[in-house]
Structure 1
């Protein structure tokens, strides 16, 4: 992969996908495949890395410009052995999501993998958030995962196979330093949605798991979070976030993508109904 990564430098040996074709020939939908700014958002990184691993990817976002940048990165990376097609879709809209799944089948003949990666936080506890903000947070962070599952599961059930990876957040399993109660509750819902769906559809050959990213340095830091939590001071917010991480550095969207890659691949054939936390040890700390 090429392009300028966002965030603190990582240890050597972690910057490139392996290129071993772990998803060779599989058809995948990745939602949230654009990004709010330059760098490696979770969905953008997933689309690029999946293609490098041989997948045929329907890269989904409602922002055409952000999708175009993702397609540029796929081309910069040489595309791998896979293929990526852009698809504009508002994944809070059930009919649009139905069309997204149909587009994947029309293009690739099947749907082997779904990565549901859409979300964003609003600060505030119950006394601060109004009802509209609460509802909007659940639509964005939980309903989107439900709608994607709702429309892709019948296809996977017919195929008798499939892997679903929902992307949650450490805010859904711990208090991570900010009272963002609607976001936290919705992401906790994503975890339980995955667990229940995994048990229900195990006999159909469908695996469902959750990636739980921690405080990564994704484009959201510059685009939104620094303004919300550090008065616009990006460096101060990065310092605060990194201080919570035992490994001593922040990952980025590529770390989420590699976790999704493992759970989507046949290497995880005996793994369902569980969570893979990607947080540098943050949620294991007592303080």
Structure 2
């Protein structure tokens, strides 16, 4: 078990990529706090994992709000008995260019996707330091590396996550904390389903899904488990000499 004895927080952990990460970490021996805006779903997943013999808890968390982030970390650390790993996975996605996106669209994506990483890390990193070090995994996107039409706010927020990851890696290396991020392309999750529904004016959802797949060299979208495997690598000792890195898991999208 690659994470035996470790204690992890996963934000946005109740569904999609976050859920896959929580399940993967638990299977590898970690005690997991599933922090999510949907606390009912977070507690339900924690109950499922507990029934399988794992240690898990569900915690309410709105990463866009400082007090909620602080309370969630405090509650998670109390339940787990400490903290070794943080996965900043919570994120949202809306479409629009700088002339079509609203102020609310822009501010909400920055608040969740970028500021949320800052907020949760602010409270979690001191706890990881108390444990003698550990790992932080931030969820960025291939949209933070390359330009995608109609994704201005999302792309800006995810590009910010990449640079914040590098800064955090530099700041906390002396505390034995490695900080990396993952840059996925489209992954089959509820978030992708919602994106396809929003774009249905441009075609049927299944056709839009095929379009996303066509952008990659592998001609398919990714799976949540594939991204969870990346997170496991970055959180485990297998990546002990890796920090400040953006791991691109995009099926070849960005190399074309």
- Equivalent position SS for 2:222: coil
1:230 equivalent among 188, 200, 205: 200
Structure 1 residues not aligned, in runs of 5+: 1-20, 36-40
Q: Give per-residue Cα distances to partners, 1:98-141, cap 9 Å, x unaligned.
A: 12221222122211000000111111111112222211110011
Partners of 2:39 and 2:223 in 1: how far apart?
Answer: 22
Residue in structure 2 matched with residue 22 of structure 1 by the alignment: 2
Residue in structure 1 matched with residue 185 of structure 2 by the alignment: 214
**Which structure shows the higher helix fraction?**
2
Distance 1:234 1:71, change over 3 A: farther
Distance 1:235 1:75, change over 3 A: farther
> Which one has more relative contact order, counting CA pairs under 8 Å at least 6 apart?
1
Distance 1:279 1:69, change over 3 A: farther
The number of residue pairs the alignment matches comes to 255
Q: TM-score, normalised by structure 2?
A: 0.94
- Runs of 4+ displaced beyond 6 Å: none
The answer to whether the aligner puts 1:175 opposite 2:178 as a matched pair is no
Residue in structure 2 matched with residue 14 of structure 1 by the alignment: none
Partners of 1:69 and 1:101 in 2: how far apart?
Answer: 19
Aligned alpha-carbon RMSD (Å): 1.7
The answer to whether the aligner puts 1:99 opposite 2:71 as a matched pair is yes
- Equivalent position SS for 1:22: coil
Distance 1:241 1:69, change over 3 A: farther
Residue in structure 1 matched with residue 252 of structure 2 by the alignment: 281
Partners of 1:275 and 1:170 in 2: how far apart?
Answer: 10
Partners of 1:140 and 1:121 in 2: how far apart?
Answer: 10
Determine if contact 2:114/2:160 at 8 Å carries over to the other structure.
yes
Structure 2 residues not aligned, in runs of 5+: none
Determine if contact 1:111/1:155 at 8 Å carries over to the other structure.
yes
Determine if contact 1:213/1:279 at 8 Å carries over to the other structure.
yes
1:256 equivalent among 218, 221, 227: 227
Residue in structure 2 matched with residue 64 of structure 1 by the alignment: 39
Determine if contact 2:44/2:58 at 8 Å carries over to the other structure.
no
TM-aligned CA deviation for residue 208 of structure 1? 0.4
The answer to whether the aligner puts 1:146 opposite 2:118 as a matched pair is yes
Q: TM-score, normalised by structure 1?
A: 0.84
